[in-house]
Amino acid sequence: NTMKYIIFNWKSYLNLKESINLSKIISRFKKSKKFKIISAPNNFFHLALSKNFKKNTYATQNFDLDGRGASTGSLDVSHLIENKIKYTIIGHSEMRSNHGETDKIVSNKLEASINNKLIPIVCIGESLNIYKSKKTKNYLRSQINTIFKRSQKYDQIILAYEPLWSIGTGLTPELSEIDDICKFLTKILEKYTFKKINILYGGSVNLSNISEILKLQFVNGVLVGSASTKSSFINYFK
Ligand code: 13P
């Protein structure tokens, strides 16, 4: 089995000191062939963290498309590049629900990120209603078709499948369902051109299910929210 991406999405859970403490733990891990650990701290803490932990890898939780200049409150791609950030989450469900990020915007952000050589972590996922009415695959297919372009040659992309009903709820699909969806995504992405594509699962990943999820054939890693703010969880990867 190849290396798994382990992405910690710290959302807005942590203050600077807590982010430093977790970064310290991660920085002491031996270089691993099994796991590639990427932390997504609060965007405001990036400079402090990347300066102190040069060997850690960080992602932003978002960036904006307003460009440089007169756009108060925005975080431009160029600011990420300037601070040597290599990865960025795009289309997280909380950006979608709290900030109106649509698949069309996600598609535009994807384009901006690849134009700037950022590695995007693109999030997709279905609502509970869609899941219950067994329309998950159709929904994910339409998300993919809106977000990705067939004319584009993509460099490296990370795609995170996060069922909305699983985020922060303690609920997850069955292991077999997760693998089946990731297999499905692998298949439908074949019509696009990628240098490298990794498909991750996210949603209520924790110490009790992590090892089983990482064993799944079509799952190349995990995107973890609240559990990733606990040192006990982080130490699993040492
Ligand atoms: P939880 O792990 O807290 O369910 O959050 C998942 C998530 O949104 C990661 O991006």
Query: How many Å apart are CA 205 and CA 214, to the nearest integer?
Result: 10
Asked if residues 64 and 79 have their Cβ atoms less than 8 Å apart, the reply is no
How many angstroms is it from 59 CA to the middle of ligand 1?
Answer: 15
Instruction: Report angle CA 105, 109, 113 to the nearest 5 degrees.
Output: 175
User: Is the beta carbon of 125 within 6 A of some atom in ligand 1?
Assistant: no
Which residue is closest in CA terms to ligand 1's atom 5? Answer: 225
- Mind telling me the catalytic residues? 92, 162
Model confidence pLDDT, tens digit, residues 16-68: 999 999 999 999 999 899 999 999 999 999 999 999 999 999 999 999 999 99
Sorting pLDDT into bands at 50, 70 and 90, what band is 1?
A: low
Which residue is closest in CA terms to ligand 1's atom 7? Answer: 225
| Neighbouring residues of 101: CB distance < 8 A, sequence distance ≥ 6 | 91, 92, 95
User: Is the beta carbon of 9 within 6 A of some atom in ligand 1?
Assistant: yes
How many angstroms is it from 70 CA to the middle of ligand 1?
Answer: 33
Model confidence pLDDT, tens digit, residues 165-210: 999 999 999 999 999 999 999 999 999 999 999 999 999 999 999 9
pTM score above 0.95? yes
pLDDT of residue 2: 83
